[in-house]
Amino acid sequence: MQVRILKSTAVSLLILITAFNSLSQQHNPIKNDEVKLLKWNASSCNNTYDPYRLKNRITQLETRGDSTIITVNFSDNCCAGFKPKIVFAENKLTLLPYEKYLGEYCTCNCCFSIEFEISGLAGKEYEVYFKENKVELSGDHYKVVEPKDTLYNGVKINRTNKYGFKEGVWITFYKTGEKKSISQYPDDLVYYDSRPFWYKGYYASGALSQYSRNDTSESWFEDGEIKSQFIKYSSGDTTYDSGFRKYENRNLEKKYFKKSYPIVFKSDLNPEYESQGNASETIYEEEYYTNGKLKYEYGDDTTYAWHENGQLKYKSYESGKIKYDEDGIIEEKSFDRFERGPDDWGDLGNFLQVYFYKNGNIKEIEFVRDEVFDHGSSMSRFRYYWKWDIAKKMTEKPKKWKGDYPWERFKEINLVLKTYELH
């Protein structure tokens, strides 16, 4: 048996598999419905390459006895589950990772591969599609472009490789020919488009305007006064993050100091529950308006923020938050509490957000709750809404809500709502 790959001028993939037993083919022609998926094998999530630039492609094509092996590399949601299927019709082989999406939807993509072992392809000419798009046999995991560079003082700068990744020294210039910025990228990038090792920016006068490297980033006004500084470094298992920034009028805009470290989370509601993770701790944080007035101040017990006119904007504390408009009228109140959940999940959050009309009547309540289902195997966060008109008449409530009203656990809101029309 011989395998040949024919490339058209459009660089499309045409797979021609020819069986040499012509006599057998004449008396026993192979029908389309004899093309079957014998078995498959899917890889786990692979973070080696950039899933958002990955090119879906064939990375393996071979025959094993009477079977054809086709491996496809592709990008999909991190939480995808696979149940492959194939469709063969009119010389078109379509490979599917699933008929209908399986798994949850996560906020990330990842690189996967599936090996398809297929029978009945001998003697057929066909093109291969993955989902809806034609795929090619390729060793390049990204789209290939023409490498570029610029010659400057006899040295190649501003290089991009065949994947379009920046490499080596990069320099930009003002129209006058003066250097605007210089940065240094790694060489021979094949996995991810990298940030530069360091970056320097310059004013047209030649004065240094910015310098970023390793764990420090700084900027300056043109006269040399420091404008901002951000430092992030680690000591042992603790990461420290500090910095400040000034407005153009030289007034302080922001300053902060934070740290994060690994911790074992324990539940006050379930003494037996423990979970490893990372804790973030603010040592101090302040923000100011351009006129120098305080805008935000972090506190261990209570954190405050102000409108520019000096009126309190909100105050937040461990169990909730109160928000005010510029006239001092309450706009929102939020209440947080936790309930004991299954041992595998830890505490479940309950968050009640109350919105008010100008006259103090309640406008809307949003309730966000962690819910465990499928016999404790899954957890999701659900949102429920109740709304009232300005005359206290309910205009909307969730159709699927069952049980007591959530605000009955919060005395302050429950007492107010006893005077409302709830049904």
For residues 245-263, average pLDDT: 97
Q: What is the mean pLDDT of residues 242-249?
A: 98
Query: Residue 409 belongs to what domain range?
Result: 308-423
Q: Is residue 186 part of a domain?
A: no
Partners of 369 in the beta sheet? 350, 382
Nearest to 372 by CA among 395, 392, 394, 343: 343
Residue 278, in any domain of the structure: no
What digits encode the pLDDT tens for the residues 96-130? 999 999 888 889 999 999 999 999 998 788 999 99
Rounded Cα distance between 79 and 108, Å, is 8
Q: How far apart are CA 193 and CA 167, in angstroms?
A: 9
Tokens representing 106?
A: 């996560």
- Tokens in use for 298? 């972090």
Averaged pLDDT for residues 11-38:
47
Q: Average pLDDT of 48-74?
A: 93
Least confident of 31-40, 249-258, 278-287, 385-394: 31-40
pLDDT at 4 over 60: no
How far CA 102 is from CA of 1, 80, 99, 107, in Å, comes to: 37, 6, 9, 15
The answer to whether residue 68 is domain-embedded is yes
Could you say which of 134, 157, 175 is where a domain stops? 134
Cα–chain center distance at 279: 20
* 164-201: burial string, b at 16+ Cβ within 10 Å, e else: bbbbbbbbeeeeeeeebbbbebeeebeeeeeebeebbb
CA atoms within 13 A on the CB side of 126: 22
Q: Which of 35, 40, 39 is nearest to 17 (CA)?
A: 35
CA dist 112 and 102 (Å) reads 14
Contact present, 225 and 250 (Cβ < 8 Å): yes
Q: Could you tell me the sign of the dihedral formed by the alpha carbons of 248, 250, 253, 259, in that order?
A: positive
The answer as to whether 141 is a domain residue is no
What are phi and psi for residue 412, nearest 5 degrees?
A: -60, -45
Q: C-alpha dihedral over 20, 25, 26, 32, to 10 degrees?
A: -140
Look at the block and give the residue holding tokens 């995808």: 80
Contact of 336 with 394, CB cutoff 8 Å: no
pLDDT greater at residue 20 or residue 204: 204
pLDDT in tens, 365-379: 999 988 888 777 778
pLDDT higher than 50, residue 274: yes
Q: Is position 157 within any domain?
A: no
Q: Determine, yes or no, domain membership for 109.
A: yes
Amino acid, res. 403: G
CB-CB neighbours of 54 under 10 Å: 20
d(CA 25, CA 23) in angstroms, rounded, equals 5
Using the Cα atoms of residue 289, residue 292, residue 298 and residue 299 in order, give the sign of their dihedral.
Answer: negative
Closest CA to 300 of 287, 313, 288, 282: 282
From first CA to last CA, the distance across the chain in angstroms is 76
Bridge partners (DSSP) of residue 352 are 335, 367
CB 194, CB 186: distance < 8 Å: yes
**pLDDT tens for residues 328-358?**
999 999 999 888 888 778 888 889 999 999 9
pTM for the whole structure: 0.71
> pLDDT-derived band of residue 421, with 50, 70 and 90 as boundaries?
low
Asked if residue 188 is part of any domain, the answer here is no
C-alpha torsion sign, points 223, 224, 226, 231: positive
Asked if residue 353 belongs to a domain, the reply is yes
Mean pLDDT of 224-235: 97
| Partner residues linked to 399 by β-bridges | none
The percent of residues in the chain predicted with pLDDT above 70, rounded, is 91
> What distance in Å separates the CA atoms of residue 202 and residue 208, rounded to the nearest whole number?
5
Share of the chain above pLDDT 90, in %: 69
* pLDDT one-digit tens code per residue, 304-323: 999 999 999 999 998 899 99
| pLDDT at residue 173, as a whole number | 97
C-alpha closest to that of 44 among 89, 95, 103: 103
Average pLDDT of the chain to the nearest whole number: 88
Residue 401: pLDDT over 90: no
* Contact call for residues 370 and 341 (beta carbons, < 8 A): yes
Give the residue from 91, 118, 134 where a domain finishes: 134
**What SS3 class is residue 28?**
coil
* Domain total in the chain: 2
Of 134, 151, 176, the last residue of a domain is: 134
